[in-house]
Amino acid sequence: MKSLLLGVLLFSISNLVSAQTSSPNQTRSAIFAGGCFWCIQPAFDKAPGVIKTVVGYCGGTERNPTYELVSSEKTNYRESIEITYDPAKISYEQLLDIYWRQIDPTQADGQFTDIGPSYRAEIFYGNAEEKKIAEASKEKLARSAKFKKPVVTEILPATKFYPAEAYHQKFYQQNPEHFEAFEKGSGRVSFQRKTWGQ
SS3 52: strand
Written out in words, the top-level CATH class of the domain with range 25-192 is: alpha beta
Q: Quote the pTM value.
A: 0.86
Model confidence pLDDT, tens digit, residues 124-143: 999 999 999 999 999 999 99
- Of 143, 142, 162, 161, residue with least CA distance to 152: 142
Q: Number of C-alpha atoms within 13 angstroms, CB side, residue 126?
A: 11
Model confidence pLDDT, tens digit, residues 47-62: 999 999 999 999 999 9
Q: What is the mean pLDDT of the chain?
A: 89
Phi, psi of 9 (to 5 degrees): -65, -45
Q: Is 84 exposed, middle or buried (0-12, 13-18, 19+ CB in 10 A)?
A: middle
Model confidence pLDDT, tens digit, residues 69-101: 999 999 999 999 999 999 999 999 999 999 999
Residue 190 has pLDDT above 70, yes or no: yes
Region 14-24 average pLDDT: 38
Q: Number of C-alpha atoms within 13 angstroms, CB side, residue 101?
A: 14
Model confidence pLDDT, tens digit, residues 99-122: 999 999 999 999 999 999 999 999
Catalytic residues: 36
Rounded to an integer, what distance in angstroms lies between the CA atom of residue 96 and that of residue 132?
Answer: 12
